[in-house]
Chains A and B, each alone.
Chain A
């Protein structure tokens, strides 16, 4: 029985690398390391203009410090290089040259009898003489049979099957992206810095244990809809021009569009004014959509401001910022004055007041009843 258990444990241990292997096909896999196994990446090719350029990462590591590329062109030259960006430039320059060559009609050269070559030699290695290039230390490249095979086959076959143009495969310069060891964040705004801090904090927590997103999904939506762009933008500008609307700029989602814009047309959002302002309040977590709480026709800044203050207190901008009033403030009538919002604060203030009056009433009854009995 113990033997059987040991056997099963061995199967389990074997299954894990098999699973890793299956996931690695076509994906990122760690480089082969002595004693640890691992899988090298497949070579990849770019086919265009009737030829195939094949690039083989000879050694691929996670940080790619020693990636060596070998590339064969249709002239039979094998190029070797370490600098990915430089190779990209090389491909680009070559393609341009080929393109130019294609525009010029080929001249039919007369057939010349030449002496047959003594032996079929492998293509000679060419090391690019560019001073900026990080040239591979090996100045001679040994025989590369896989490249010969690739070059001997017809690239047309590949072109017929693979219909994507070459530029579809390479539009990002990966060499200019920070390596995984030194991640980089950048932004051009204060709001962006806040987002970065949030994202950074979440990076340190495992995915399953992350708390709810402290995001802006609960902000009200203010959509300006109008046929005249100048009028729409005039309302939008009010949010940049100080009181009373400037303080709302970061507290609502702002959008100004024409009535036929897809953002409003696709969801049937219409305003009675032109321009009009629609204010929506999200329905909450998991419910989707948002309730229209106001539809203002050609509103003044004060009208927009007062409407934003009157809407559902759950969307109080101070609450959105995480600046919720304390329990004491909720019960105190003073919260109304402090937040200038009559909504929930006033309701809670009133409840507090009535509870206090009821308490006095009951206290009075308790104090008065024995006196009545005594008389």
Chain B
């Protein structure tokens, strides 16, 4: 009985402790390509980390994320993607239309739904960068309340491995933003419960030579 009680005490304390953080917000670190010994799977060169822009008042986060993928996977057809836009803002069918009209040979996969994990796993493990929706984060806090606000944003997923995930956020492209993998999935699906993932199939850059 004593053992059972001890087990219950430790279980209850650890359950509460795991979820709580000092400010009640899940952990998130805006850092570099290495976090506590773990590396990003996609280390985007500094000169190709682009900042989000706007076209006629609407954000180009989708197209900046696509541009990151184009530079990472050497898809020159997509380099001028932002210049094709009449207006910012993005959604899956708009991407289909743009690629069909301007770069029909570029191969890609899109997913919209509640379980983006396996596609992200596959993309990142094969060295491909993924473009993923992002619903909230520490960068997007209401200065009045300190609460994170709901956003309608797209970022690049640069790590999806083990217990951690990292993103390259085009609103803060100098940093790699780290968080728990489960937390990243929550953010990717927020607020509708559905994430949108875009992965281009072109080959990623070659690995470093070992001889």
Q: Do A and B come from one complex?
A: yes
Chain A residues within CB distance 8 Å of chain B: 1, 4-5, 8-9, 11-12, 15-16, 18-20, 22-23, 25-28, 41-42, 44-45, 57, 60, 62-64, 88, 92, 95-96, 99, 157-158, 161-162, 164-165, 167-174, 176-180, 182-189, 191-192, 195-196, 198-200, 202-203, 207, 210, 213, 215-217, 221, 223, 253-257, 262-264, 266-269, 278, 280, 282-283, 288-292
- Residue of B9, B48, B109, B142 near A195 (CB, 8 A) is B109
Q: Can you show 9 pairs from A to B with CB atoms below 8 A apart?
A: A44-B149, A96-B56, A185-B110, A195-B122, A199-B119, A267-B207, A269-B208, A288-B210, A290-B210
CB distance from A152 to the nearest CB of B (A): 13
Closest Cβ neighbor of B171 among chain A residues: A168
Beyond A183-B111, A195-B201, list 13 extra A-B contacts (CB 8 Å). A1-B1, A5-B1, A5-B5, A26-B148, A42-B142, A42-B150, A168-B153, A170-B58, A171-B52, A215-B126, A266-B45, A267-B206, A288-B208
B190 A27 Cβ-Cβ under 8 A: yes
A253-B204 in contact given A5-B5, A183-B112, A215-B122 (Cβ < 8 Å): yes
Does B209 reach chain A (CB closer than 8 Å)?
Answer: yes
A217 B210 Cβ-Cβ under 8 A: no
A291 B147 Cβ-Cβ under 8 A: no
Q: Is the interface of A mostly helix, strand, loop or mixed?
A: mixed
> Hey, which chain B residues are within 8 Å of A210, CB to CB?
118, 121
Measured in the bound complex, the distance between the Cα atoms of B147 and A17 in whole Å is 20
A172 B90 Cβ-Cβ under 8 A: yes
B152 A174 Cβ-Cβ under 8 A: yes
CB distance from B63 to the nearest CB of A (A): 8
How many residues of B are in contact with the other chain, CB < 8 A?
Answer: 99
> Hey, which chain A residues are within 8 Å of B94, CB to CB?
176
A25-B25 in contact given A15-B16, A180-B113 (Cβ < 8 Å): yes
> Hey, which chain A residues are within 8 Å of B18, CB to CB?
19
> Hey, which chain A residues are within 8 Å of B150, CB to CB?
41-42, 44
A183-B194 in contact given A158-B144, A264-B206 (Cβ < 8 Å): yes
> Hey, which chain A residues are within 8 Å of B183, CB to CB?
27
B201 A191 Cβ-Cβ under 8 A: yes
> Hey, which chain A residues are within 8 Å of B125, CB to CB?
213, 215, 217
A164 B140 Cβ-Cβ under 8 A: yes
A11 B207 Cβ-Cβ under 8 A: no
Interface string of B134-173 (1 = CB under 8 A from A): 0110011011110111111110000000000000000100
> Hey, which chain B residues are within 8 Å of A187, CB to CB?
107-110
> Hey, which chain A residues are within 8 Å of B86, CB to CB?
none
> Hey, which chain B residues are within 8 Å of A1, CB to CB?
1
Among A9, A199, A264, residue most surrounded by chain B Cβ atoms (within 10 Å): A199
CB distance from B6 to the nearest CB of A (A): 10
Closest Cβ neighbor of A256 among chain B residues: B74
A63 B152 Cβ-Cβ under 8 A: no
> Hey, which chain B residues are within 8 Å of A178, CB to CB?
92, 112-113, 194
A173 B119 Cβ-Cβ under 8 A: no
B5 A189 Cβ-Cβ under 8 A: no
Closest Cβ neighbor of B53 among chain A residues: A167
Measured in the bound complex, the distance between the Cα atoms of B61 and A220 in whole Å is 34
- Residue of B126, B149, B206 near A269 (CB, 8 A) is B206
A171 B88 Cβ-Cβ under 8 A: yes
> Hey, which chain A residues are within 8 Å of B83, CB to CB?
none
A168 B121 Cβ-Cβ under 8 A: no
Measured in the bound complex, the distance between the Cα atoms of B206 and A268 in whole Å is 11
Interface string of B93-116 (1 = CB under 8 A from A): 110100110001011111111110
> Hey, which chain A residues are within 8 Å of B110, CB to CB?
184-187
B126 A216 Cβ-Cβ under 8 A: yes
CB distance from B139 to the nearest CB of A (A): 7
Measured in the bound complex, the distance between the Cα atoms of B112 and A184 in whole Å is 5
CB distance from B118 to the nearest CB of A (A): 4
Closest Cβ neighbor of B21 among chain A residues: A22
B8 A171 Cβ-Cβ under 8 A: no
A191 B107 Cβ-Cβ under 8 A: yes
- Residue of A62, A92, A255, A257 near B57 (CB, 8 A) is A92
Docked complex: B5-41 residues within 8 A CB-CB of A: 5, 8-9, 11-13, 15-16, 18-21, 24-26
Measured in the bound complex, the distance between the Cα atoms of B118 and A231 in whole Å is 39
A158-B187 in contact given A8-B8, A198-B122 (Cβ < 8 Å): no
A172 B208 Cβ-Cβ under 8 A: no
- Residue of B45, B92, B108, B144 near A177 (CB, 8 A) is B92
Measured in the bound complex, the distance between the Cα atoms of B118 and A291 in whole Å is 29
B191 A41 Cβ-Cβ under 8 A: yes
> Hey, which chain B residues are within 8 Å of A217, CB to CB?
125-127
> Hey, which chain A residues are within 8 Å of B201, CB to CB?
189, 191-192, 195
CB distance from A194 to the nearest CB of B (A): 10
CB distance from A155 to the nearest CB of B (A): 11
CB distance from A82 to the nearest CB of B (A): 14
